[in-house]
Amino acid sequence: MEYDFRKIEKERQRQWREQHAYRVSNNSNKPKYYVLDMFPYPSGAGLHVGHPLGYIASDIFSRFKRLQGFNVLHPMGYDAFGLPAEQYAIEHGVHPAISTDKNIDTFRKQLDNIGFCFDWEREIRTCQPNYYKWTQWIFLQLFNSFFNKHTQKATPIVELIASFAKEGNTLHVFPAAVNYQPAQFSADDWKGFSEKQQQEILMHYRLAFCGYGEVNWCEALGTVLANDEVVNGVSERGGHPVVKKKLRQWYLRITEYADRLLEGLERVEFSDSMKEMQTNWIGKSYGAEIDFEITGVPTTGQQLKVYTTRPDTIFGVDFMVIAPEHELINTITTAEQQTAVDEYCTYVKSRSERERQAEKKISGCFTGAYAINPFNGVKIPIWISEYVLAGYGTGAIMAVPCGDDRDFKFAQHFNIPITNILGDAFNGEEANATKDAKLHNSDFLNGVVMRDAITIVNQRLEQMGIGQSKVNFRMRDAAFSRQRYWGEPFPIQWKEGTAYPLAETELPLLLPEVDTYSPGPEGEGPLANIPEWVSKELETNTMPGYAGSSWYFLRYMDPHNDQTFCDRAVSDYWNQVDLYIGGTEHAVGHLLYSRMWTKALCDLGHIGFDEPFKRLLNQGMIQGSSRFVYRLKGTQEFVSYGLIKDFDTVDKLHVDVNMVDGIELDTAAFNKWKPDYAGANFQLEDGKYLCGSEVEKMSKSKFNTVNPDELVQKFGADTFRMYEMFLGPVEQSKPWDTKGIEGVHRFIKKLWRLFFDELKGRVWNEDAPNGAELKVLHKAIKKIQDDTERFSFNTAVSGFMICVNELADLKCYKRAILEPVLVLITPYAPHVAEALWEALGNTSSILDASFPVFDPAHVVESAKEYPVSINGKVRTNLLISLDATESTVQELVLANELVQKWVEGKPLKKFIFVKGRMINLVI
RNA sequence: GCCUUGGUGGUGGAACUGGUAGACACGCAGGACUUAAAAUCCUGUUUGCAGCAAUGCAAGUGCGGGUUCGAUUCCCGCCUGAGGCACCA
């Protein structure tokens, strides 16, 4: 009987489907375990081999936990709103719902091929009204809440209104990031405000709020562009100029949760690097805001507010730098500098924030104005430069060249004299950011260690009323609106410029049909093109992609509930996601947003936990190995890789990896590939056309994708699953290479042959196992259990191979050994395991078997072959009993002939014996 | 530019807390079975030097230093690949 994987896998999948083998109940006596994948965006390109990596890992872990007796929730769904579907709609006129459904069907077929244990009865799609109804509902919760600083919790806004009416805003001052005048008001003030004013004030407290923010604006296309759609300052489509434009936007007040987002990291099992990334993104810094008087300009009495983390360096300030968007530019620029400043600001406007930070070239412009150092009256020139960002701190810094690298380079570039406040710690060659030097040239701070000077300066500033210590966050409030069609509509209605929430009974606010997916007027989204929508004064923005993904893990628990987003009793049962698997590309976006939503929902009493993910595993990215051909500019001549150095101008073009064997191009296939290449002529080396290669993200546009369907068809799902795991550690990124898959396939066939011989048929028997066989089994149980638990799936696969190789060598065909081996392998290769399990005569599914229990008695060793080193070099091995004491071992070792030869009679300086490990002699 | 992360044979990788570097595979070479092929099985496979050979010696985990009896593992500096950087998902 042969291993017919196609038949086996089809049959098993049908059986599991019919038996609802993966249906999960919300009621169980078993302990619960929740394994979650980051759900996919169903792109039109379908799955490539990189996508299933994390799914296979989570599938293995889910099945493993199930065998260990847990009630495992392992759902899947689709993050279905997003830009690509809308782009496709613009280009092809196909409604995004239709193309999305089509893409989902493809995804589903591909996923099913691989044999995952998802409970598909819990599937969700973020674009469906019965799902986004609750996204809108949660948005309203955020809109109707504020962050109460005293309790550090989201609190219903009605409590804030009550407090305003009672004691003004003394109890609840404006959030730190808000700059509203008047900053304080009394109860009487509040009652005196108009409805519009009251709503305006409340908006500054709401957790979901409306404000103004900058977007990438493309005049030619009349639309707002994503960063992705902007390349080098022009639009990706058409290459039109893109500039910054201020538009009304919705935001989430995530900055209010900054401290709790930091604190929560201590209670979750994320990798240290992940925690570090989030910590850096939040970017909490302790510093001071300082007001400087401005002089040398027509309008007197103006002040420049800077934020600095190093107030101790105030005597080293040689110039000020403000962001090119800074408001003061209009009022402090002197007449002589006006032209230069205007030119500079226009130049900067076309540049992205990233470009501005990455730019090595130093640029800037003097405003003509000066600030006055409050401690010594020194006049400090005020410059504009793009390295200062408007969005961080106050958008203005005090530059201390001797202590800050960027300031130093700026000073050098513009020949600004540098004051040394560091004494010997500053060498004049480069800045020194130390906090431990003693201050020089610093008036009352001379001789004080910088670290200690920070508090002294802060105290002085506060006494003088010109500054205060301040905690700052790099993180900004999250932009929560898009000028797009394919997203959740906001349940918001505008009345005379004030936003009002729709009633819960009006949800879901359905996304209407449109005639055109083109942008609306004035940078508004396509919804602004619909007269009925506009006449009702409904919000025309839609929510961003991350809205639906910020809470989907809750919906899986209770996906069909139409009374609430998730029943509290159900979320109390499933609680946190025990294991969340996905890529690091979501490190700061999705993970922070969903953590914030969870905290807000918890604060408001809708769920009972405030961190969504207990443990996070980041699978690495499977990269594509791209191949390139080189075409002489303007010709049809293609030059082999080794020859390109002989030519000046060649175009480097991606070529489909499936036409390349190693790096050798199938030139005939290339000619047929695209009509353009039919007439291609090749300049060969050694009779071959060799391609260049590079490792890049796997993507259809780079022609480096490999389709899992073909591999499943050729080798089977079990082989495919194991091979993806065998490739390397899940957490590591690696380029895909199909080459090794045969090895895994051979392994499964070898496993099969322990049960069935091609000619003889059944070979397994009921004999009692011997010690050697039990040892192999229990070694494997331990290895597989340990490796699976620590997500070392690649070494677990190797463990299976070792186990099967050893059983084959022992000619062990005994049921008592083979049956537990099948259970071990079930999470990895479920189809073949179930088929052989049934062949052994079992009537219930192997999915519900019990994981074998490791018995150390079967694997004990009595002796160990110790490596014996002399001065750190291994010279021989000696078999020594594990019970031997150190002195016995030393005696044995020194008596050895080979050891004596290497020791050459020299005295022994040191004898190192690590029991069970090694022996080292130092002479 | 900033943040994170990787670099070990011809290839993917193993070595879990500083203790025999190269497990397990791929590929390659040789052999067995076969009319032949596929499949399967066996042997070898880090490099250099010496030897008919078993084997021996030396070097070796991106590069340069350091700590240690002992470093792929820890520390310092550098080179280099990948991912992210707020409207892609």
pLDDT tens-digit map of A530-584: 999 999 999 999 999 899 999 999 999 999 999 999 999 999 999 999 999 998 8
Separation CA A713–CA A63 (nearest Å): 23
Separation CA A307–CA A311 (nearest Å): 9
The confidence score (pLDDT) of residue A390 equals: 83
Cβ-proximal residues to A368 (8 Å cutoff; 6+ apart), any chain: A296, A297, A332, A333, A334, A335, A336, A337
As a whole number, mean pLDDT of residues A135-155 equals 96
The confidence score (pLDDT) of residue A528 equals: 92
CB atoms within 10 A of CB A160: 21
Question: Three-class SS of residue A615?
Answer: strand
Between A626 and A383, the higher pLDDT residue: A383
Spanning CA of A208 to C1' of B74, the rounded length in angstroms is: 48
As a whole number, mean pLDDT of residues A204-216 equals 92
The confidence score (pLDDT) of residue A568 equals: 97
pLDDT at A158 over 80: yes
Answer whether any strand B atom is within 7 A of the Cβ of A225: yes
- Confidence label for A697 from pLDDT (cuts 50, 70 and 90): confident
Nearest-CA residue to the C1' of B68?
Answer: A872
Q: For residue range A848-880, what is the model confidence (pLDDT) as tens digits?
A: 999 999 999 999 888 888 888 888 888 888 888
Structure-block tokens of residue A864: 């160990």
The confidence score (pLDDT) of residue A669 equals: 84
Spanning CA of A744 to C1' of B20, the rounded length in angstroms is: 28
Identify which of A367-381, A414-428, A515-529, A686-700 has the greatest average pLDDT.
A367-381
The confidence score (pLDDT) of residue A433 equals: 81
Percent of chain A with pLDDT strictly greater than 90: 61
Q: Is the peptide bond before A31 cis (omega within 30 degrees of 0)?
A: no
Answer whether any strand B atom is within 7 A of the Cβ of A806: no
Task: For chain A, give every residue range classified as CATH 3.90.740.10.
Answer: 284-473
Measured CA to CA in angstroms, residue A136 lies from A491, A507, A604 at distances of 6, 7, 16
Spanning CA of A615 to C1' of B23, the rounded length in angstroms is: 30
Separation CA A74–CA A860 (nearest Å): 38
Answer whether any strand B atom is within 7 A of the Cβ of A484: yes
Q: Which nt is closest to the CA of A585, judged by C1'?
A: B84
Task: For chain A, give every residue range classified as CATH 3.10.20.590.
Answer: 861-922
Task: For chain A, give every residue range classified as CATH 1.10.730.10.
Answer: 709-858
pLDDT at A232 over 80: no
pLDDT at A434 over 90: no
Q: Which segments of A155-305 does DSSP mark as H helices, in order?
A: 157-167, 187-192, 195-203, 258-264, 272-282
The confidence score (pLDDT) of residue A922 equals: 87
Backbone phi, then psi, for A425, in 5-degree steps? -70, -10
- Confidence label for A839 from pLDDT (cuts 50, 70 and 90): very high
pLDDT at A527 over 80: yes
Bases along strand B below 7 A from a protein CB: 1-6, 11-16, 19-21, 23-27, 39-42, 57-58, 69-71, 81-89
Q: What angle do CA A835, A836, A840 make, to 5 degrees?
A: 120
> What b/e sequence results for A544-554 when a residue is b if at least 16 CB atoms lie within 10 Å of its CB, and e otherwise?
bbbbbbbbbbb
The confidence score (pLDDT) of residue A428 equals: 81
As a whole number, mean pLDDT of residues A92-109 equals 94
Cβ-proximal residues to A174 (8 Å cutoff; 6+ apart), any chain: A180, A183, A204, A205
pLDDT at A485 over 80: yes
The confidence score (pLDDT) of residue A414 equals: 92
Q: For residue range A62-84, what is the model confidence (pLDDT) as tens digits?
A: 999 999 999 999 999 999 999 88
pLDDT at A648 over 80: no
Spanning CA of A834 to C1' of B22, the rounded length in angstroms is: 35
Q: Which nt is closest to the CA of A544, judged by C1'?
A: B87
Q: For residue range A596-619, what is the model confidence (pLDDT) as tens digits?
A: 999 999 999 999 999 999 999 999
Q: Which nt is closest to the CA of A480, judged by C1'?
A: B87
Dihedral angle of Cα A591, A592, A596, A602, to the nearest 10 degrees: 40
The confidence score (pLDDT) of residue A802 equals: 95
Contact A814, A766 (CB under 8 A): yes
DSSP strands (E only) in A753-843: 756-757, 761-762
The confidence score (pLDDT) of residue A701 equals: 80
The confidence score (pLDDT) of residue A684 equals: 82
- The distance in angstroms from the start CA to the end CA of chain A is 63
Answer whether any strand B atom is within 7 A of the Cβ of A239: no
- Confidence label for A751 from pLDDT (cuts 50, 70 and 90): very high
Q: For residue range A888-902, what is the model confidence (pLDDT) as tens digits?
A: 888 888 888 888 888
Contact A824, A852 (CB under 8 A): yes
CB atoms within 10 A of CB A25: 9
- Confidence label for A217 from pLDDT (cuts 50, 70 and 90): confident
Cα A30 off chain centre by = 32
Q: What is the mean pLDDT of chain A?
A: 91
Nearest-CA residue to the C1' of B70?
Answer: A872
Q: Which nt is closest to the CA of A921, judged by C1'?
A: B69
Structure-block tokens of residue A367: 């405003």
The confidence score (pLDDT) of residue A5 equals: 94
Backbone phi, then psi, for A27, in 5-degree steps? -125, 120
| A861-922 fold | Ubiquitin-like (UB roll) (3.10.20)
- Confidence label for A128 from pLDDT (cuts 50, 70 and 90): very high
Answer whether any strand B atom is within 7 A of the Cβ of A483: yes
Cβ-proximal residues to A710 (8 Å cutoff; 6+ apart), any chain: none
Instruction: Please state which CATH number belongs to domain A284-473.
Output: 3.90.740.10
Q: For residue range A759-818, what is the model confidence (pLDDT) as tens digits?
A: 778 899 999 999 999 999 999 999 999 999 999 999 999 999 999 999 999 999 999 999
Q: Which nt is closest to the CA of A620, judged by C1'?
A: B83
Answer whether any strand B atom is within 7 A of the Cβ of A472: no
Residues 179-218 of A with CB under 7 A from strand B: 213, 215-216
Answer whether any strand B atom is within 7 A of the Cβ of A83: yes
Structure-block tokens of residue A488: 């959740």
The confidence score (pLDDT) of residue A181 equals: 84
pLDDT at A360 over 80: no
The confidence score (pLDDT) of residue A214 equals: 84
Spanning CA of A921 to C1' of B51, the rounded length in angstroms is: 30
- Domain A709-858 homologous superfamily, CATH: Isoleucyl-tRNA Synthetase; Domain 1 (1.10.730.10)
Answer whether any strand B atom is within 7 A of the Cβ of A800: no
Spanning CA of A274 to C1' of B4, the rounded length in angstroms is: 8
Q: Is the peptide bond before A508 cis (omega within 30 degrees of 0)?
A: yes
The confidence score (pLDDT) of residue A753 equals: 93
Q: For residue range A662-694, what is the model confidence (pLDDT) as tens digits?
A: 777 888 888 888 888 888 888 887 777 888 777
Structure-block tokens of residue A405: 């690298």
The confidence score (pLDDT) of residue A431 equals: 82
Q: Which nt is closest to the CA of A83, judged by C1'?
A: B88
The confidence score (pLDDT) of residue A59 equals: 97
Residue owning tokens 């470009």: A355
**Window from A16-30, A335-349, A679-693, A785-799 with minimum mean pLDDT:** A679-693
Separation CA A855–CA A715 (nearest Å): 35
pLDDT at A240 over 90: no
